[in-house]
Structure 1
Amino acid sequence: MTVLSIKWGREKTAFEFKDRSLADIPLGELRQRCHDWSGVPLGGLTLISAGATMKDDKAPLSCFGIKPNGQITMMGTRPTKTDIRTLTTNGDPEEYALIIKIQSSLQKTLDLVAQHVPRYEQAVQDYIQSNSGPVNLSQIPLLPARKGLQDAHGLLSENLLQSLLIFDGVVCKPDFEVARATRREAVKETQRLLDVIDEMNERVKACDRGAPQQP
């Protein structure tokens, strides 16, 4: 018999799997047991073992380095009936979980942008003002600043593209109208932010080429 301990905040439980080894138990089955116990929607339920998030519901638990009698941490929020009724199309808790996931990911993106984009924009303006022509040997002191701009653009664009991938990976049922609309708006806003930093990067490239800058 295999016994797995689950810790969810201050709550704990243990699941028994009689006559089965970790290699015989798919992650999806364990997640379903956790859902039945906690009431957390499957779409918002995450299991963590040894600091790593467990993914792929079809994979056996033995793939995640879990030990018999080991403890697994569960993450997720059990919504209230009011939360579900207020946010969703038809009162489905799984749609609620998707909406929260999308909103949470978008907020992380907005927080990142609010923290870094103003500084990036100021650095772009300073660079353009101090270097209106192509970089040459006499402008070597400016090269570190240019490298910093390149790194900043790369970091921001990579994070925004990762956010787009997360939104693209959120699968909404056809009748999850609110979740689908929330995902569309998140994609639209993230793409807009990506266009903003790409436009600033193009201004820097135009400055390097000696092209006239728009006021």
Structure 2
Amino acid sequence: MAVKINIKWSREKTAFEFKDRQSLSEIRLGELRQCCHEWSRVPISGITLIYAGAMMKDDNAPLSCFGIKPNGIINMMGTRPTKTDIQTLTTNGDPEEYALIVKIQTTMDKARQLASDLLPKFQAAVQDYLRAHPPPTISPPSSTSASPDSNLSEDQGALPTTATGGRPEDPSRMSAARKQLFELHVGLSESFMQALLVFDGIECKSNHEVARATRREAVKETQAWMDQVDDLQAQVKACDRAMRR
């Protein structure tokens, strides 16, 4: 009995039959990806397969582990490059290198847009927060002064204590200004880290010189944004610690 797998790519549809297989457990994802490549002429490294909203990643995994139901449809994403695209962007006209470059550039475009939209907003919010919470004037200790709590949490989501002291507020009870900083920091950090993980997972052959250079510059630029975010967050945490004293 042949195994039939339905594929949808944009408006195009096809079905691959594996006549020598008895079940999905006998077919590896990499084999299906190769079939999609031969059918669509999209470079293998530029093919993304999705089933039930989840990305299918491990090419060595059997298709049975993805929960594909009878008559289920796997969605394929990817762009078929033109000869001009390949010759213009790649080192030696390799369509696989072209797909890697497109993946790097697409990820970088998203990260760059995020940096353009939110990084200035985070910088301005941090400066507003620091101006609103200047370092307190340090008074000489007195015999009646309460001892500082040396075990206060310094988690990145923790709030400064209130003016009257006490433990840091719960993140769910943050002031509007502090909550905005928390959300911007988390959003930027996670997004830039995801981009770096994408770049780290892209394997370029030694002769893919353009792809390697493109990835190197993407990592450098994204890491610079990460460093800015970390520096701003360090300023906020230093301000919070000063307010706890």
Partner of 1:81: 83
Residue in structure 2 matched with residue 137 of structure 1 by the alignment: 162
1:108 maps to which residue?
A: 110
Contact residue 133 and residue 208 of structure 1 kept, 8 A: no
1:204 maps to what in 2?
A: 236
Aligned residue identity for 1:111? Q
In our comparison, the structure showing a higher alpha carbon Rg is 2
> Which shifted more, 124-133 or 80-89?
124-133
Preserved contact between residue 167 and residue 183 of structure 1 (Cα < 8 Å): yes
SS in 1 for 2:16: strand
Summarize deviations over 1:136-194 as a string: whole Å, max 9, x none. Answer: 53278995233432332132112212211111110000000000000000000001101
Identity %: 61
Rate the CA distance shift 1:136–1:78 in 2: closer, same or farther, 3 A: closer
Equivalent residue pairs, number: 211
Structure 2 counterparts to residues 29-108 of structure 1, below 5 A: 29-108=31-110
Counterpart in the other structure of 1:180: 212
Aligned: 1:7 with 2:33:
no
Deviation at 1:19, TM superposition (A): 3.6
Q: TM-score normalized by structure 1? A: 0.91
Separation in structure 2 between the aligned mates of residue 89 and residue 48 of structure 1, nearest angstrom:
30
Letter of the 1:77 counterpart: T
SS of equivalent residue, structure 2 residue 68: coil
Partner SS state of residue 8, structure 2: strand
CA distance in 2, matches of 1:131, 1:143: 15
Q: For residues 51 and 162 of structure 1, what CA distance do their matches in structure 2 show? A: 19
Task: Classify the secondary structure of the residue corresponding to 2:206.
Answer: coil
- The code of the aligned residue for 2:163 comes to S
User: Cα distance, 1:52 vs. partner?
Assistant: 1.1
- For 1:158, the equivalent position in structure 2 comes to 190
Query: How many Å separate the matches in 1 of 2:72 and 2:192?
Result: 36
Aligned CA-pair RMSD: 2.1
- Structure 2 counterpart of 1:57, one-letter code: D
Aligned to 2:121: 119
Distance in 2 between residues matched to 1:51 and 1:208, nearest whole Å: 41
Q: Distance in 2 between matches of 1:7 and 1:125?
A: 50
Letter in 1 for 2:58: D
What does residue range 15-30 of structure 1 map to in structure 2 within 5 Å? 15-20=16-21, 21-30=23-32
TM-score using structure 2 length:
0.80
Q: Distance in 1 between matches of 2:205 and 2:162?
A: 58
Amino acid at match of 1:138: A
